[in-house]
Structure 1
Amino acid sequence: MSTILIKNAQVVNENEIKNLDVFIKNGRIEKIEPSIDATADQVIDATGLHLFPGLIDDQVHFREPGLTHKANIFSESRAAVAGGTTSFMEMPNTVPNALTQKLLQDKYDIAQDTSLANYSFFMGAGNDNLDEVLKTNPRDVCGIKIFMGSSTGNMLVDNEQALEAIFKNAPTLIATHCEDEATIQRNLAAYKEKYGDDVTIEMHPLIRSAEACYLSSSKAVELAKKNNTRLHILHISTGRETALFQNNIPLEQKRITSEACIHHLWFSDEDYKTKGNFIKWNPAVKTANDREQILEAVLDGHIDVIATDHAPHTFEEKSQPYLQAPSGGPLVQFALQALLDMVKQGKLTLEQVVQKTAHNTAICFQIEQRGFIREGYWADLVLVDLNKPFDVTKECILSKCGWSPFEGHQFSSTIEHTFVSGNLAYSDGKIIEVGTGHRLLFNR
């Protein structure tokens, strides 16, 4: 493996910004100093650039196996790396659903051969696979995923005894999608009765309502407290839910943590008029007031991490009428640039972006030697020009689906270089296929 010396970077790390050199050897950060005089196979002059820890996205759907007309691990890991995301954790609602240890291992085997980013995969929980869930190895599997709301395939866990058993006996972190299915179905039936087939996207946050989210999230929190479960609630979409979480204890001591997603921090229900089904997600993008309360919870520590819920569908699928169009969209390629726009707008600081996308994710999941710019840690890094605008065009989109909700937007920053486990994997607008990422390990 080659040596790389990064010179004169503005390093954003652990609540500080310092001008430093970084020397990479054998995939790891060997030295960090104000000035390093060393021979290296490659020297990168980072004058004027900011160096961040690579983003760790704890919630993506890369669609492989079984839904590869939408995406695959290779295509979406390319998009991730181009956007400065160096590690991802992928969800089990592929086809077949990852509900057995063998099916889970099949996904790891694909990633080992094709993923350009570091990877981990959630074990799926169902109503009747507790024996398989209990075999999950906390050392090399990021967690167990429970859909407490509808999902692709047959992954809705709606059996009370099954839920209780999983929360009580899970050998590692549980991550949940929380929407109360009975509330959603009741709302949907009412809107169909009133509007027939003319139900529109504007009704999406009313059907998949704030009440549905709170009922399910509060239930998950109650179960976790009862059983002392390590719980992580994904994609908080309402202001009300943020009060379910603590901000008065260190993150390392929390048993219940939560995540906000880019789309819930960026869009509001006003955007349905122009974006339509292309911002149709579950949970739904809700009001501007919800968006502001979620941001406030990110800032004050009630919400611990920021991720994407990257979930691509084809343009044709999303172009169907509201009731037929699937929920989800591609986000991983432009997550960092979206957050850096929020920095420019005064909503976040650079240090907070790093904390919520790298440091805290590593702490929440107990990821081994990643998420920080530290000597001895793996060199998962991204160099960004904060003053070089970037236009999102169809030509630059690397997700297999070929579209983005950010298409036509000009970001204020440009990703210049991304390093994955010490390899320069993206540089000056081009993917460099130097090898695959590594399987994430966890200190558990």
Structure 2
Amino acid sequence: MPNYLIRNAQLINEGTSQQLDLRTEGGFIAEIGASVSARAGDVVIDAQGQYLLPGVIDDQVHFREPGLTHKATIGTESRAGVAGGVTTFMEMPNTVPNALTQKLLQDKYDIAERTAFGNYSFFMGASNDNLDEVLRTDPATVCGVKVFMGSSTGNMLVDNVQTLDALFRECPMLIATHCEDEATVRANAERFRTEYGEDAPAWIHPLVRDELACLRSSSMAVELARQHNTRLHILHLTTADELSLFRNDVALSQKRITAEVCVHHLWFSADDYEQLGNQIKCNPAIKAPHHRAALWEALLDDRLDIIATDHAPHTWAEKQQPYWQAPSGLPLVQHPLLLMLEAARQGKISPEKVVQKMAHAPADCFQIDRRGYLREGYWADLVLVDPNQATHVTPESILYKCGWSPLTGQTFGHKITHTFVSGELVYANGDFQVERAGQRLAFVR
């Protein structure tokens, strides 16, 4: 691959914003400085007026492969992610078959090695009866273990109390949890089925999957983690009620319990079901506006550590089914950086904080080897963003295999112009330069 010299960019990194040059060599960042000299053979990019950011690390996506490739594949969705500045992804185990054995987990790594546009890792899945397989997972080469403490898309509910206790007691690596209390959700669903029958409106979703379901499950996870000193990461927080479970009085590197918020829970609220209906049906549910406001507050004061997407595509036809049959999940991996930079443009968050929550914090939380920062000696996962060009989300611009987005019609005040993955220029001014570039993540644990 060629080496690159990016000149005159506004580097946003580690809480600062300053105009600097950056040079790559052999896949890594070789030099950062006020005036970096080009070497023979360097490809020079003048980035005057543009932001240069470390690539987004998305710690929660569902790329559906193997088994559900009519919805998405690792290749199609990682390609869409790269166009949106997502250079690294961590994918969930509720594929078909579920990634519940080391063999099935390796099958996914093999697919990614052939087809991934971005850097990748895959969660090992936990079930009620695969503890021995879970404990064989290598913490140096796998991002974590995923536990569904509430059923979602797929059939991986872990509801055996003894199994949960053993997992939290014995697992030596990060456990990531989906937290919704299944008994509460089922009771709520039965009540609303009685009231509305089969013709229920989508706006009942945050009432079916309500605050109590989230709080009961998250509280249980935190209690188990504290009891066993487990490294726990709770995914996609949605309620004000849960936020007291998390700390902001210690550095992220010292936390044993961390939390994530997703872009759609920061962007949408329950008021949007009237217009978008099942398009924004997801688990946990998008809830009332006061919950969204509380999530923003907790993100800014560092009780919430990471911003992710929970990218979960379904076909348009599947989403057009009646509420009870329509699957949960939103396709989002092409647009998270634009969403958050738009929030920055609106004054809700600083660009420096966006970079912290979408690049630095995921790298630190998962202890990823040499990624997530613009530092000499680190992998060159880079994104150039033009703050003076707009991006219009149109059906033609959507790269997800499912072909739709709840953001269609939205205009963002920034444009992603270049994305580098492990030093390779993968995306430039709307065109893809290579067919794959991702590397398997390594972890320093």
Contact 2:153 2:328 in 1 (8 A): no
Contact 2:362 2:372 in 1 (8 A): yes
| Whole-Å separation in 1 of the counterparts to 2:154 and 2:178 | 14
| Whole-Å separation in 1 of the counterparts to 2:292 and 2:262 | 10
Residue in 1 that maps onto 2:251: 250
Deviation at 1:330, TM superposition (A): 0.5
Contact 1:310 1:328 in 2 (8 A): yes
**Structure 1 stretch 38-47 or stretch 324-333: which is displaced more?**
38-47
| Whole-Å separation in 2 of the counterparts to 1:265 and 1:210 | 16
Contact 2:152 2:283 in 1 (8 A): no
Deviation at 1:152, TM superposition (A): 3.0
Deviation at 1:58, TM superposition (A): 0.2
Q: Secondary structure at the match of 1:419?
A: strand
Residue in 2 that maps onto 1:20: 20
| Whole-Å separation in 1 of the counterparts to 2:438 and 2:50 | 24
Unaligned runs of 5+ in 2: none
Deviation at 1:171, TM superposition (A): 2.1
Deviation at 1:407, TM superposition (A): 0.4
Q: Report the AA paired with residue 185 of structure 2.
A: I
Residue in 2 that maps onto 1:90: 91
Residue in 2 that maps onto 1:426: 427
| Whole-Å separation in 1 of the counterparts to 2:422 and 2:168 | 34
Residue in 1 that maps onto 2:199: 198
Q: Report the AA paired with residue 31 of structure 1.
A: E
Work out whether 1:10 is the aligned partner of 2:35.
no
Deviations 1:92-145, CA, capped at 9 Å, x for gaps: 000000000000000000000000100000000000000000000000000000
Q: Number of aligned residue pairs: give it.
A: 444
Q: Secondary structure at the match of 2:334?
A: helix
Equivalences for residues 121-200 of structure 1 within 5 A: 121-200=122-201
Deviation at 1:342, TM superposition (A): 0.1
Residue in 1 that maps onto 2:229: 228
Deviation at 1:431, TM superposition (A): 1.6
Residue in 1 that maps onto 2:291: 290
Residue in 2 that maps onto 1:359: 360
Work out whether 1:441 is the aligned partner of 2:442.
yes
Q: Secondary structure at the match of 1:286?
A: coil
Deviation at 1:434, TM superposition (A): 5.1
Residue in 2 that maps onto 1:270: 271
Give the % identical residues.
61
Unaligned runs of 5+ in 1: none
Deviation at 1:356, TM superposition (A): 0.2
| Whole-Å separation in 2 of the counterparts to 1:217 and 1:433 | 42
Deviations 1:151-191, CA, capped at 9 Å, x for gaps: 33321000000000000011210000000000000000011
**Structure 1 stretch 190-199 or stretch 303-312: which is displaced more?**
190-199
Equivalences for residues 26-425 of structure 1 within 5 A: 26-39=26-39, 40-425=41-426
| Whole-Å separation in 2 of the counterparts to 1:154 and 1:204 | 20
Deviation at 1:436, TM superposition (A): 2.5
Deviation at 1:195, TM superposition (A): 1.4
Q: Report the AA paired with residue 120 of structure 1.
A: S
| Whole-Å separation in 2 of the counterparts to 1:419 and 1:309 | 22
Distance 1:271 1:387, change over 3 A: same
| Whole-Å separation in 1 of the counterparts to 2:196 and 2:276 | 21
Q: Report the AA paired with residue 407 of structure 2.
A: F
| Whole-Å separation in 1 of the counterparts to 2:432 and 2:69 | 21
Deviations 1:238-287, CA, capped at 9 Å, x for gaps: 01111100000011000000000000000000000101100001000001
Q: Secondary structure at the match of 2:45?
A: strand
Deviations 1:303-323, CA, capped at 9 Å, x for gaps: 000000000000000011111
Deviation at 1:66, TM superposition (A): 0.1
Q: Report the AA paired with residue 140 of structure 2.
A: R
| Whole-Å separation in 2 of the counterparts to 1:423 and 1:433 | 8
Contact 2:424 2:437 in 1 (8 A): no
Contact 1:94 1:152 in 2 (8 A): no
Deviations 1:296-339, CA, capped at 9 Å, x for gaps: 10000100000000000000000111111000011010100000
Q: Secondary structure at the match of 2:204?
A: helix
Q: Report the AA paired with residue 99 of structure 1.
A: L
Contact 1:136 1:171 in 2 (8 A): no
Query: TM-score if structure 1 supplies the norm length?
Result: 0.99
Q: Secondary structure at the match of 1:7?
A: strand
Query: TM-score if structure 2 supplies the norm length?
Result: 0.99
Contact 1:174 1:232 in 2 (8 A): yes
Deviation at 1:41, TM superposition (A): 3.0
Q: Report the AA paired with residue 73 of structure 1.
A: I
| Whole-Å separation in 1 of the counterparts to 2:154 and 2:218 | 22
| Whole-Å separation in 1 of the counterparts to 2:219 and 2:12 | 35
Q: Report the AA paired with residue 11 of structure 2.
A: V
Q: Report the AA paired with residue 98 of structure 2.
A: N
Contact 2:153 2:327 in 1 (8 A): no
Contact 1:79 1:332 in 2 (8 A): yes
Contact 2:72 2:313 in 1 (8 A): yes
Deviation at 1:2, TM superposition (A): 1.1
Q: Secondary structure at the match of 1:139?
A: coil
